[in-house]
Every structure is written in structure tokens, then in C-alpha cells.
Amino acid sequence: MKKSKKSQLLALFIMCACFLCVQPLLAGQPRPTATLLLPDLAVKLKLVTKKFVSGKGVHCFSVRPEYTITNKGQATARNFEIKEYWKTQGRPWEYMGGSSHHTLAPGKSYRQSPSPIYENAWCADKKDKVAFRITAIYSGREKNKRNNTAVAYFPDFTAHPEILKKKVGTKPAASEVSPK
């Protein structure tokens, strides 16, 4: 029995000595690491507009946010919320609405595309800009949380140069006049 214990201790001593001798050789090599698979929700936002002419002959636009949320990560994002906000220049953000309990598998997207309506239109005789903000709120760990919010402003004078003309030269057609 004593020989068995001695041989076990000797074997353990030799293994430790070998490990200590080999350790400096392995120091220059990168250590293998486990990759943690995480979701990555990315929000893309654009504004959808419907142009019309007011009864006063002013260019107006119904503006609504159209957005896509894509999971660019390697794991499913479960039970996340989407919050929508809007504001006018110089005012605080106001909650527009939202939804919860969304789930997105890796590579999948959720798209929201509301139809522009005539209510709350932006007209060229106004000086304020309108802004929309969409945020995907995920409580778990994520690969990149910096891409969970997108903001878009209207008017974008480069996309709609006709906004700079406040009045239309001719009387609007009946189909272009906003409903009352």
C-alpha cells in the first residue's frame, strides 16, 4: 500500500514538473476562448410621407415612421419591447405607442410600416421640424446596444426641395385637398 501512495505522489510530481516546463512554451500562443452567443437588435428608420396641398394652397406632408428591427446577432432575442416617440422642435419627446413581447431569431426582422394619414400634417408654413425615435428595449445581454435606437427628422430639405416653396402657384385639385 505504501508503494502505491509513493508511486502516485511521484507521478503527480512528474506531471506538475512537466506542466511547469511546458508552460513558458505555450505563453506565446493565444488561449482558446469560448464565444458567448448574443442577440443584436438593430433599428433602421425612415419616414414615409404623403404629399398634399392644403385648402390655403400650402404644401403639406403627412409623415409617419417606417422601421425595421433586425436581429444581427447569433442568438434569439426574446421578449423585447418596441417604443415609438415623436416630438417637434424645442419640445420634449412624447410617447406615441409601442408593443411588447416580441421574439426575433438570428437573421430575422420585424417591420412596421404605417400608412401616412392627413392628421397632424407638417405644412411648409410651419417652421418646426418633426422628429421620430424608435427604440428596441431588450433587458438581456446584447452584442451591441448602441444600435437599438434610430431617429429621423422631417423636413429633410435635400429629399424634399419643394418644401422651400411655401405656396403652390395654382389652386389645388379637389383630390389633393386634405379631408376635413
* pTM for the whole structure: 0.67
pLDDT of residue 58: 85
Instruction: List, for residues 119-145, the tens digit of each pLDDT value.
Output: 667 887 777 788 899 999 999 999 999
Residues 88-103 have a mean pLDDT of 88
Q: What is the CATH number of domain 41-161?
A: 2.60.40.10
pLDDT exceeds 70 at position 95 = yes
- Indicate the pLDDT class of residue 97, thresholds 50, 70 and 90: confident
Interatomic CA distance for residues 176 and 180, integer angstroms: 12
Say how far residue 160 (Cα) sits from the centre of its chain.
Answer: 25
Instruction: List, for residues 2-53, the tens digit of each pLDDT value.
Output: 567 777 777 766 776 666 665 555 566 666 666 789 999 999 999 988 888 8
- Indicate the pLDDT class of residue 90, thresholds 50, 70 and 90: confident
Q: Where are the domains of the chain?
A: 41-161
- Indicate the pLDDT class of residue 178, thresholds 50, 70 and 90: very low
Residues 54-83 have a mean pLDDT of 92
- % of the chain residues with pLDDT over 70: 68
Strands (DSSP E) found in the chain: 41-53, 59-71, 77-88, 94-104, 109-112, 122-123, 130-137, 149-154
pLDDT exceeds 80 at position 117 = no
